[in-house]
Each structure stands twice: as C-alpha cells, then as structure tokens.
Chain A
Amino acid sequence: MATSLIELKNVTKIFGGKKNYTVALDDMSLALSENFPRIVTVAGESGSGKTTMGMLLLGFYSPTFGQVFYRGQDLRELTWTGMMDYRRNIQAVFQDPFAVYNPFYKVDNLLSIPIKNFKLASSGAEARSMMEEALTSVGLRPEETLGRFPHQLSGGQRQRIAVARALLLKPKLLIADEPVSMVDASLRSTILKSLRALNQDYGIPIFYITHDLTTAYHVSDYIMILYHGSVMEVGNVDKIIRDPQHPYTQLLVKSIPWPDPNMAWGDADDIINKSKVAFVKTTGCKFLPRCPRAHDICQTQPPALFAKDSDRAVACYLFKDAPVVPREELGTLFREAV
C-alpha cells in the first residue's frame, strides 16, 4: 500500500492544565491519500474537535500523544526542504474572509507570495497571468480585485480570492475550514461550486470542516461526525444525512433548519438539555448523558466503530453485532462504490 500523503496516527490533543483540561481530539487515526480525489467532510458542533483536526493536519498544532506523518515522515522531523514540500502540497481556506489578509498589503500578496516562494512562475508576466486566470475562474474580475486592499473588497470577494489561491496552487490536499460560514447566503453556492470544481476538474482531495450539515451534504462525498473528539458515525454522506443511524447524528439531522416551512422542526422535547448534563463525566460512550437510547453497556467503555454497511460505520452499541472497523482503518470506509 502506497504511503499516504498525510496521516494522523493515534493522535490525541489535550488543551489546558493538569486540573482543568479538555480532550479536543481523542485517539484519532486517519490517513488521506493524494490519489483519492473526493471531498471528505468532518462535521460536528463546537468542541467536537473538527477544527483541531484541521490544525493538526496543517501542522499548526502539535499532537499531545500520537504522531502526524507527511509522506511517511513525522512532521517534527522534517527538514527545511521537506517542510517546503509539505507546505506546497497541503493548503487551506479558512473561515474568516478578512483575517487571512494582512491589512497592510494589497490582496495580490495572497496570490503572489506563494507563486514566488514555490517557484510556480518563471517571470512576473507569467505570475500575473496565472493570478488573473485563477480569479476569473472563481467569478471575479482581475481589474476590480487586483491592486486593492482587503478593506476595499467585500467579504464574498475576499473569500473567493482565497479559493482562487487554492486553484492557483493546485495542492495535493486542500483543507477548507468553514469556508462559507461567514459569507452571505447568496454567495455560498458560488464558492462551494468552485470548491467542487477544484475537486472534480483537477482531482484535488478536499478535507471540508463544517458544522453545517446542509452544505456538507451538497458538496461532499463522505462524512465523519465528531462529538467531543471522537468519531460517532462515518461513511457515505448521502446515507448518513438521509438515514442517520447514530443517535447523535439523528439529533443533528433533526435540528437542521431546512428552509422549507413544511419540513418543521417539531418541538424540542426529545432533546436532553445539554446544560443540565454539562458537568457529567463518563467512562463509556461520550454521548451517553444526552442519548435517548442509552443502555447499560454504553457505560462500560466507548464503543468501537461497527460497520453497518460497506461504506458506513457507527460508533454505537446499538450495532454491536456488526463487524468492527479498527480505528486505524477509518480511511477504508471512504471507498468508491463499485
């Protein structure tokens, strides 16, 4: 089996001191290959660990336990050339369309600096034409965007430039952390379309981090649902959203505010108030305090991933008779449907 592009191996990330600590990510193992041109979503609410996963993959956080490997090498042991290769090939689009720009410089910098550092163009003219092409392909007009400062453009324009940057760099993997949550509704579709194009036309795998299941459904192929740092359900996105099996996923899907008054939420009596169970710690399944279908076995230890279908697994004792998917083989669920 070929070495994966980037791999988290039994990574746990803990924040905080000795007394008041939070386990942001709990023993996560995931391998992403550059030859897997699909969009994988990692979804969850705040505190689920999804952003932490993104930061670990980008090397901005160091794992408390476990290792992160780039092309087989531990990130902490990369040489300068190895580091440049890593940076070249793994790129990101972040949530805040304003924060990624240094207010001091023109927006061109976002595109021109990586071209220069990664030697993507042999001349200034070539660089310029690359930038213009990337901007047009996300629906922007170069003459209206280049040469401007970030505060002179709208949030939507700035975010599209960030996506254009990804198009220009054509990395081996793109990590998109809530790329449309701070963008107006009318523009979300355009940006998601560009991301989808990046994936389908150029074969670039995308790791999409979000709390919004509707956009996840629309743009991705596979999804992992995280809760308090652990995977609850993982697999094919159509199946999981249309027919969620894990009680947590069911809760999430039921709470999606569909823009259709006929698909009403219903009352919220079935939801166990999170604030009432906020301080309960469990040794078993993490979702236990809020689970409407918990039983005794759930308290013993966290459930393993049970493969309910060939392309979906659920970490829930309701499915304990199904074959277990070892954590390290999480990636095998992202298999192409033959």
Chain B
Amino acid sequence: MTEALLQIKDLRVYYHVDAGAVRAVDGVSFNLEAGIKLGLVGESGSGKSTMALALMRMIKAPGKIESGQMILDGVDLLQLSEEKMRQTKLMKLSMIPQGAMNSLNPVMRIDKQMMDGLEDHNSLLSKEELTARIQELLTAVDLDPKVAKMYPHELSGGMKQRVCVAMAISMEPDLIIADEPTSALDVVIQRQVMAMINRLQEKLGLALILIGHDMGLMAQSVDRLAVMYAGRMMEIADTKVIFGNPLHPYTQLLISSLPVLENKGVFSGIPGVTPSLLTPPPGCVFHTRCPKARDVCRERIPVFTEVETGRWVACHLITA
C-alpha cells in the first residue's frame, strides 16, 4: 500500500499569551491520499484556520508549533530549513487564502503578481514563456486573459478569488490548501468557483484540503470530511458515510441542526458554549455539551481510533 501524500501526526499549536497557553490545535492526526479532496470542517474556535497556517508554516508569534510531524511526500515539513520550506511552497504545497480581497497587492497588476511567484521558482523561463503561462493559467480558471493587465480593484470578488486559485496552481503542486475560499462570495459564484476548483483538481491530480464551516459546501465538494472541535479532531470519514451515518455525537448534533427542505419549522441547535482553549475541560473536550457523556468522558481523553477502514472517531462510546 502506498504511503499517504500527507501525514499529520499529533500536531499541537499553542498561542502563548500572558494568561497561559491557548491550545488552538491540540493533538491532531490524520492522513491524506494523493488526489483526494478532504474537507476540514469546524466552528469558530475549532482550530481549523490554525491548521491551515500550520500546514504552510505560517504560524507567527505568539503562536508556536509545539510538537508533531507534518510529513508531505516523505519529508517532514517541520524539519525543513526556511529556504527549503519556501521552495516547497508553491511547488509542492500551496494555499488559496480566505478573503481574496486582502491577499492581492492593490498596487500591482495581476500579471506582475502572478509572475513573481513563477519567476522565483522557474528562473529559466523567458519573459514570453512566462506571459504565455500566465495566460494559460487565467484561462484555466475561466478568466478572460485581459485580466492580466488589470488591477485588483477592477475585479469582482469572484474574479479575485479565481486569480488566487490561478496563482496556487501555477506550479502544479501536489497539495492545495483552500481556507474558506468562497465564504465571501455569493452562492452562485461559489458554485462556479467550486466547480472550477473541482475540474482543475481532477485534471491536475492534486490533493485538496478544503477548510470551512459550511457543512453544506462540504457535502457538495469533498470526498472525505474531518470534523474538528475545540482544537481536536472528532471524526473523519468519507463524506457520504459521515452524512449518512455520523458516529460522533458532535457530528450528529451538527448535522441535525442544519436546515434542509424536509424539516421546515424544526429548529435544533447544540446547547452550551465552546470551551475555553486556555483551560480545556479534562477528558473529552466535547463532554460539557454532549448529551451522551458518561463518567469516562470526563476523565480520559478519547483516542482517535480507526473503527472501520478509513473511518476514525475519537469517542469513548464508539471505541469502548
């Protein structure tokens, strides 16, 4: 059996503030095969955005990757030098950030911005070849090549996000991390952008980690889904399996609180509040809100276990 493209082992990212250490990511492990789309879903405080930054090694003080391994294609990213990591970015691993509006340089034309990344990695290409490549990339994301000569403020939100996708695929990496790529976009544009990302992903054989809070978007877009809560991973499985038969109580409550056509007038949420990440509750971090919590849940942290092939859960009720 071939090894997974990405292996995360017991990753911990803590933010050190005056009051102590905020455990944004507290012992997360999972694997991702090549060419697979994985959704990382969680609410605010779940740690999903921190995961995105950690994967790109973009965590800044007071945050720190405390421990763990991030193995991409056999190489532990956390052991790489700054220079090697910089080269890995874009060539093997790239990111489509949240809020396209903020990530494009407002005073540079689009083609110049795209060229920066390309030139850095591909100094052998001539100017004509670079320009051609940029045209190719823009067409791949359904943009008129004229966009190359425009400035970000002349583009709509959807167009700007497409430019970000174009930059992310420019070196044909093995893995793309998309952090809430469509949260600022209207629902129709969202569908178009996701369809475009899907198409590219299939054509280039990339693996994709889609990070977000919209379960509906996940259901429509990813092959496998990982559910995070308060810095830990609760469940991971194929999308259809998770929606059809969620095992973890949190996943169950989350799915049943989503509005669908059939349950008009039925409102069910999850009572309580997310726990503090500074002083997380002992044992299972969800036990304070879990309707099925038992004594063992308060005492011991459940181990993230593979209960069926490709299906992992962290819950005493399931793994007992």
Contacts and interface: CB of A to CB of B under 8 A. Distances in A.
Chains A and B touch (C-beta atoms under 8 A apart): yes
Interface of A: 45-46, 139, 154-157, 184-190, 192-193, 196, 211-215, 217-218, 238, 241-242, 251-252, 254-262, 264-265, 267-268, 271, 273-276, 278
A274 B215 contact: no
B171 interface: no
B43 interface: yes
A254 B195 CA distance: 13
A142 to B, nearest CB: 15
Contact of B259 (A46, A217, A264): A217
A189 B271 contact: no
25 contacts: A139-B271, A154-B274, A157-B273, A184-B43, A184-B44, A185-B257, A186-B270, A187-B269, A187-B270, A189-B259, A193-B267, A213-B187, A214-B259, A218-B263, A218-B264, A252-B187, A255-B191, A257-B187, A259-B255, A261-B240, A265-B191, A265-B194, A265-B220, A268-B191, A275-B158
Contacts of A193: 267, 269
Nearest to A290: B188
Contacts of B142: 273, 275
A126 to B, nearest CB: 29
B219 A257 contact: yes
B213 interface: yes
Nearest to B143: A275
Nearest to B198: A267
B1 interface: no
A258 B273 contact: no
A186 B269 contact: yes
Which 9 A-B residue pairings sit nearest by Cβ, starting from the closest? A257-B216, A268-B195, A45-B186, A193-B267, A186-B270, A189-B269, A184-B43, A190-B269, A189-B267
Interface string B75-89: 000000000000000
B190 to A, nearest CB: 7
B267 A192 contact: yes
Contact of B187 (A139, A255, A267): A255
B220 A218 contact: no
B243 A260 contact: yes
B188 A252 contact: yes
Given A255-B188, A256-B187, A261 B219 contact: yes
B189 A274 contact: yes
Given A260-B260, A275-B156, A186 B219 contact: no
A185 B271 contact: no
A218 B186 contact: no
Interface of B: 43-44, 142-144, 155-159, 162, 186-192, 194-196, 213-220, 239-240, 243, 253-255, 257-261, 263-265, 267-271, 273-274
A144 B158 CA distance: 41
Contact of A258 (B186, B216, B240): B216
Contact of B217 (A190, A252, A257, A267): A257
A267 B195 contact: yes
B162 to A, nearest CB: 8
A258 to B, nearest CB: 6
A144 to B, nearest CB: 9
A46 B159 CA distance: 15
A274 B195 contact: no
Given A157-B273, A264-B220, 5 more contacts: A184-B274, A185-B214, A259-B216, A259-B260, A261-B220
A262 B243 CA distance: 10
A184 B156 CA distance: 27
Nearest to B265: A218
A46 B265 CA distance: 27
Contact of B215 (A185, A256, A268): A185
Given A257-B190, A265-B191, A265-B195, A185 B156 contact: no
Nearest to A139: B271
A271 B190 CA distance: 11
B1 to A, nearest CB: 26
A275 B264 CA distance: 35
A242 B264 CA distance: 12
A275 B268 CA distance: 39
Nearest to A144: B273
Most B Cβ at <10 Å: residue of A186, A215, A241, A268: A186
Contacts of A214: 216, 259-260
B280 to A, nearest CB: 15
Given A139-B271, A184-B43, A189-B269, A255 B190 contact: yes
A262 B187 CA distance: 19
A251 B186 CA distance: 12
A186 B156 contact: no
A258 B186 CA distance: 15
B264 A271 contact: no
A198 to B, nearest CB: 13
A156 B274 CA distance: 10
Contact of A215 (B218, B259, B270): B259
A82 B273 CA distance: 42
B186 A46 contact: yes
